[in-house]
Structures are given as structure tokens and as C-alpha cells.
Amino acid sequence: MAIQSWSFGDITVSKVVDMIEPFDARRAYPEADLTEFDKHLDWLTPYFYDPAQKAIILSFHAYLIKTPKNVILIDTCIGNHKNRMPMLPSWHQRTDAAWLGNLAAAGVRPEQVTHVMCTHLHADHVGWNTRMDNGRWVPTFPNARYVFHKDEIAAVQARIGQDSYNSPSYIDSVLPVIEAKQADLVSTDHEILTGIHVRPTPGHSPGHYCVECRSGTRRAVMSGDLIHNAVQVAHPDWITVFCADKQAAVDQRTKFIDQHTDQDITIFAGHFGGPTAGRFVTAKRGGRKFQVTT
């Protein structure tokens, strides 16, 4: 797969894709007026919405950040060999290993990764944290520090065994990292490395965070699951089926889009298809839209 990359001063960001699939827009936004998609087709197609299927294009990818000193992965997608039944049949026991090949195509071997930052601990953001080795789960990135939010860990641990979504992924993709003593827990807004900041944005999940990168005057934000589809730039109040605290998610998203519109800040969203990177801008006819950076 061709790897998309962007440069910011001395930082390079690459998108490393695991899987892309259409997702029924009605399931994603059960309460929304879906005719709104049709008003924004000029910028939502072809990358973010498929009008024929009435489906959002949901991409599962990691961002690879190379700085002069560090190699950082933001989120690790779905992974291989993970038991995801009965909730997620299309993610269950995948064995194609395409993602590691894509990481290699981006010029990185797992041993070179210095940091793994999981914006949150849902199954589609932690999968490649670990890999199966002789029947046991081991960290895929043996030399990396893994950065998790303290509130996210606490929330998942409190519900172990009570849900069939987060519990299995915690046990196979997070706990082995903690047991290998490679986990660092963060709790506040701070700079974990020069130019790399954690920005807590709870709502989608209890300890969700965004990652802000700065290089000189250049800024970029990896927004995780604060926004699932570009249509929410025009409609930040749309509630998704994916969010734990739906009102907090709306509030965080609205504030984030207000703060980042018409700014020279590149947004790298967690699930956008196509070119993925872009800016929030005021549309000529009013409201906001997502303008891709190719």
C-alpha cells in the first residue's frame, strides 16, 4: 500500500492503514437528519461518505510520527489473532499481518518505535499493541514506552468481565504491556516529549486524549475519536453510537472545532478515509467544513 506522509518542520507524519470499511450512516448517527449528508457532498465525497450505500467510510489507521530523536505511533488499530466475537466478526482472528507490512513500507521496524500513544483503549486503537508469540501475547514494540491515560485504565478495569468489547481488548492488548513494565500512565495535559503534548478530551471514552505536535511554528493535532467522520465538522452536535458519554463528547468536539477553525493547524483524525489530513475552515455558504491537505 502506498504510504501517505506529511512533513512539519523536522517532524514527518505517516498514515499506516490496517483496514477500511463502509459503515451504515444510520447506525453511526441514529438520531441525525441524514439528508444533511447530501448538502455537503461536494466535500464529503469521495473520501468520507458513500451516497450510494448511505455509509460513512471508516478507516482504521495509525499515525507514525518521526522526530529527529523518536519514532511515535498514535493508536494501533485492530491487530491480528484477536478474539472479537460475538461483537465484531470482521475484526475476529484476522491473520493477514498487512499492517506490519505497511509499517515496514513507512520505513520502520517494530524495534525502532520509541513510544506508542493510545488515544483511548477501545479495541480498534490497541490491537497491534501486542502480537501472538508462541501462544502468548507480547508487546509488538519491545523497546517502546506505551502511554495510556490513567482514567481510561481505571474505567476499563472497573468493568472487566462486564462487557464483550473493552474487556477482551484490555486483556489481550493492554494488560500484557503493563505486565512487561512498558506502560506509562498520564493524567493531565502535558508535554511527554519535546513538541509532543497530551491533551485530555474525555467524552468518547473516560480517558480519551488528543495528541498535539509542534515543530517551530507548525502545529498538528491527532484527534483520535473526538470526530469519527468529516460531516461532524459541520455538525459537531451529532451524537454517535460509538461514544460513552454522548453529551461530553459533543461538548469536547464543539469546543475543539471552535478552537481550531481557520487556524494554521493540521488535523489528523482517527477514522477519516482518503487523504485524512486537513483543516477546519469556514465554508463560503456558512458553517464549517473539512478541507483536505494532500
DSSP annotation string for 180-203: TT-EEEE-SSEEEETTEEEEE-TT
One character per residue 156-185, x = contact with Zn ion (rule: CB under 5 A): ------------------------------
**Beta strands, E only, the chain:** 4-8, 11-24, 49-50, 55-66, 71-74, 115-117, 130-133, 136-139, 145-149, 183-186, 190-193, 196-200, 209-215, 218-224, 265-269, 277-282, 288-292
Q: State the nearest-atom distance from the C-beta of 118 to Zn ion, in Å.
A: 11
Q: State the nearest-atom distance from the C-beta of 23 to Zn ion, in Å.
A: 11
Contact with Zn ion (CB under 5 A) among 48, 65, 118, 124:
124
Q: State the nearest-atom distance from the C-beta of 228 to Zn ion, in Å.
A: 7
Select 11 or 58, whichever has its Cβ closest to Zn ion.
Answer: 58
Q: State the nearest-atom distance from the C-beta of 80 to Zn ion, in Å.
A: 18
One character per residue 214-233, x = contact with Zn ion (rule: CB under 5 A): -----------x--------
Helices (H), 65-139: 98-105, 123-126
Select 131 or 208, whichever has its Cβ closest to Zn ion.
Answer: 208
Residue pair 202/208 in contact (Cβ under 8 Å)? The answer is yes
Residue pair 72/114 in contact (Cβ under 8 Å)? The answer is yes
Q: State the nearest-atom distance from the C-beta of 124 to Zn ion, in Å.
A: 4
Q: How many residues of this chain bind Zn ion (CB under 5 A)?
A: 2
The verdict on 152 binding Zn ion (CB under 5 A) reads no
Q: Using CB under 5 A as the criterion, which residues of the chain lie in contact with Zn ion when the complex forms?
A: 124, 225
